[in-house]
Structure 1
Amino acid sequence: MHVDDAIRERRSIRAFKSDPVPRALLEDLLEIASRAPSGTNVQPWHVHVVMDAARDRLVDRVMAHREAHRAGGAPDASSEYPRATKRKEPYVRRMRTLGKEMYGLLGIPKGDQEASWRQWGRNYEFFSAPVGLIFTIDKDLEYNSWLDIGIMLQTVMLAAKARGLDTCAQGAWNNFWTITKDELNIPDTEYIVCGMSLGYAKEDEPVNTLISEREPLSNFVTFHDG
């Protein structure tokens, strides 16, 4: 697959088949993704791959903790590291446009809190994907290393697409991080950056037809040529 085709065809998949992904294919994918660039070759990423029984244990524990949090009996529903609490335009518009399109495809009307809660919970089931990836980074690394791990994430997603696999990057795994760290033995010296679902898309699911809009070049590119 040409790299341009992988970029165009990659999209966030929110419904996966249960078909297993061979360990050898995962190793090949992550090995090529390790060629992602990083400043001074720091390579700040660490990837926790969960599959089979390990995946199920993580999902069960986080989902149980999530329900306990909802009932008021468990803490840490928010990110371990600081995140923006308010957004301004044009970012709010873009976010709301995506949400409206996605929930429309899911058949969840605005204001249906129970259905929205269940759909949010699908994040912690990796949208039924057979493989989950949890990306972590050392807490003492500088902001540039967070850019590097973003490049690594994109490289994983494009390499997966080139191999016939699909993905969904998931910021939701910033939440309930105490349970994830405990289950995967992630040291307290690392942040959980995000998660990623990986597997084969259910092509007949309406939510998987969503292709998020992109701004025209005139909205984000400034040429300095005079």
Structure 2
Amino acid sequence: MTLSVSEAVARRHSCRAFLPDPVPEETVRELLSRALQAPSGGNLQPWRIIAVAGEEKDALTPLAQSALFKNPEGEDDEYPVYPKKLGEPFRTRRFRVGEDLYGAIGIPREDKAGRYAQLAENFRFFGAPVGLFFVTRREFGHGQWAHLGMLMQTIALLAEEAGLATCMQEAWGKVRETLHGHFGLDEAEVIYCGMALGHEDKSAPINNWRSERASLEDVAEFRGF
């Protein structure tokens, strides 16, 4: 039975443990082809996608590890994932989601090694057989970056319909410079982030955890109704 849009939205979550089962190239091609109907202001379609699997995907793990060994804080980045100073309620939300995630898998705050090991799983795509990287151009502004996010969400929802899971991975932004060279991008291009794609390991405790969301009253107001 086909999944409704509402069901796909409700089911989508950041999967952080995948089964090793492969996803055929044909499936990935079909998924991405359908996702290209995502909204795009001015029809700029300000994106490129690099899909990796097999040895191409596996080669990225030691590459990222080497880069982060040299600079654990990540490479110099003109596009930080978060502002340096987060105000409220955003700072509290970010802190809480981290504490809740590690709590769900039994890693206490004092276990720094355990937390770093879990963070490092990003650079294994959490065991997913497919990795996607999203590329845009440096001259583009906030509007085009927003359109890229619309594409990513479309891919994630179509993946749910196809019985697959995803995790959007801004962590790859820590090694943008390394990835830029590895993929041979031109100077005007920039990688935004990655995405893990595959079959969810439903037995993994981390996949049974869900982040807390703000209520509608916290984020919306209604006028003129």
For 2:70 and 2:96, locate their aligned partners in 1 and report how far apart those are by CA, in whole Å.
31
Answer with 56-65 or 155-164: which moved more. Answer: 56-65
Tell me the residue number matched to 1:7. Answer: 9
2:148 paired with 1:149? yes
1:44 maps to 46
Q: Match of 2:24?
A: 22
Q: Over aligned residue pairs, what C-alpha RMSD do you find?
A: 1.5
**Structure 1: how far apart are the matches of 2:132 and 2:106?**
28
User: How far is 1:69 from its partner?
Assistant: 2.7
**Where in structure 1 are there 5+ consecutive unaligned residues?**
none
Q: Percent identity?
A: 34
Matched residue count = 222
CA–CA distance in 2 between the matches of 1:96 and 1:6?
Answer: 27
Within a 5 Å distance, the mapping from 1:81-160 to structure 2 comes to 81-82=79-80, 83-160=82-159
The TM-score with structure 1 as length reference comes to 0.93
Please give the per-residue CA displacement for 1:118-160, whole angstroms capped at 9, x wherever unaligned: 1111111111111111111100112110110011110010011
Write out per-residue CA displacement over residues 176-220 of structure 1, whole angstroms, 9 at most, x where no aligned residue: 112211222222211211111110111011000111122211111
CA distance in 2, matches of 1:30, 1:62: 25
Name the structure 2 match of 1:190. 189
Q: TM-score, normalised by structure 2?
A: 0.94
Rounded to whole Å, the distance in 2 between the matches of 1:108 and 1:76 is 23
Q: d(CA) in 1 for partners of 2:170 and 2:50? A: 15
1:76 positional shift: 4.7
Does the 8 A contact of 2:180 with 2:190 survive in 1? no
1:1-31 alpha-carbon deviations (Å, 9 max, x no partner): 1000000001101111111001111011001
Instruction: State how far apart, in whole Å, the 2-side matches of 1:151 and 1:184 are.
Output: 24
Structure 1 residue 64: Cα displacement = 2.4
Distance 2:101 2:74 in 1: 27
